[in-house]
Amino acid sequence: MFDLFARVFGRDDASKDVAKERLRLVLVHDRASLSPQALENLKNDLVKVISQYLDIDDQGFRVDFSRDEDAMALVANIPIRKKVNRNSL
Amino acid sequence: MGEAIVITSGKGGVGKTTTTANIGAGLAQAGQKVALIDADIGLRNLDVVMGLENRIVYDLVDVVEGFAKLKTALIKDKRFENLYLLPAAQTRDKTAVSPDQMRDLVGEMKEEFDFVLIDCPAGIEQGFKNAVAGSDKAVVVATPEVSSVRDADRIIGLLEAEEKHDPSLIVNRIRPSMVKKGDMMDINDMIEILAIELLGVVPDDEFIVVSTNRGEPAVMNPQSRAGEAYRNITRRLMGEKVPFLKLEDENQGFIGRLRKMMGIKG
């Protein structure tokens, strides 16, 4: 029934855009041979290592792949609160 | 010296075998000397799509193991001057041949034929490695669906790993009316995502079912839309520049729109 309404009144969520977006995400992980879970582990490990040197905001911490043509990059955005005093380690 | 082309996809059921049969028949129709190899050992199918299932005596494994000569095992398609099929073995599995053996076999066939087309099995295991081993060029078949495009992407990566560079893409079973509505990925979406050269676009065509029922490749039928697309693909493979089919909405007109609006297919 919803389908019928959608067809008659037109809609803004063309399913091909959903398909493209889902494909993009899944291919990023496929191409890097890294599952979303593995990426999460990588992120946690990064937080652990970097926290030894810097006081970082792990809520704002983002790790993701970016793809530009043929090149892939791992992009991490790490907000820093303040420098940790090395002597206290 | 001919050219060996492997037709592959990763995902099953997207039309590899139909594509192989039609490109083979199309090339033969255009005067080329063509051999088709069914590399799907254990799940033989190219023979039935070609309508040659009753004429099999020897198969690919018999040739590789030396039980039959290549010339004896090749089945001649009587409808075309220069079209031959080397069927897969049905009672063996993919491990019955090795990539090296396939490379030798395809090399030998290239001396005899203008085109050797290899129908690759679904999957990424040994069957795939066997099928691509002797090829000079790869054609990837994909339908406009998330699962198929994903697998195509994986196959493109694996082809690269096997040093088979620059594969080209056939988009199969595209439905212009759905593309128009925004409910199916279009050609540009797929090319952009896969970053690959386009070889052809084959519209979804009910006639393919009829042609498979009869064992007569659609490329032989001048009325079939898919057949026309395959004829264009064969001309491109022979080096001609052919514009891509203009895919028009098959449900034109008021009744068509009304049916579509009410969700009636057909």
- Cross-chain Cβ contact B184/A23 below 8 Å: no
Tell if the CB–CB gap between A16 and B186 is shorter than 8 Å.
yes
In a domain, B230, yes or no: yes
The CATH number that applies at residue B207 is 3.40.50.300
- B115-119 and B34-38 as β-strands: parallel, antiparallel, unpaired? parallel
Q: Which residues, including other chains, have CB under 8 Å from residue B44's CB and lie 6 or more apart?
A: B38, B59, B87, B88, B89, B90
Mean pLDDT of B145-168: 95
Query: Which segments in chain A show pLDDT lower than 70?
Result: 1-12, 67-71, 83-89
Mean pLDDT taken over chain B: 93
**Is residue B16 included in any domain, yes or no?**
yes
**Which member of B145, B146, B263 has the closest CB to residue A3?**
B263
Contacts of B151 in chain A (CB under 8 A): none
Per-residue model confidence as pLDDT tens digits over B46-87: 999 999 999 999 999 999 999 999 999 999 999 999 999 999
Are residues B193 and A27, on separate chains, in Cβ contact within 8 Å?
A: yes
Q: Where are the beta strands (DSSP E) in B132-186?
A: 137-142, 168-174
pLDDT score of B265 more than 50: no
In a domain, B94, yes or no: yes
Flag whether pLDDT at B263 surpasses 70. no
What is the domain extent for residue B102?
Answer: 3-261
Query: What's this model's pTM, rounded to 2 decimal places?
Result: 0.82
User: Would an 8 Å CB–CB cutoff place B124 in contact with chain A?
Assistant: no
Domain range annotation of chain A: 36-89
Tell me, yes or no, whether B266 lies in a domain.
no
Residue B175: pLDDT band (50, 70, 90) is: very high
Residue B250 has pLDDT above 70, yes or no: no
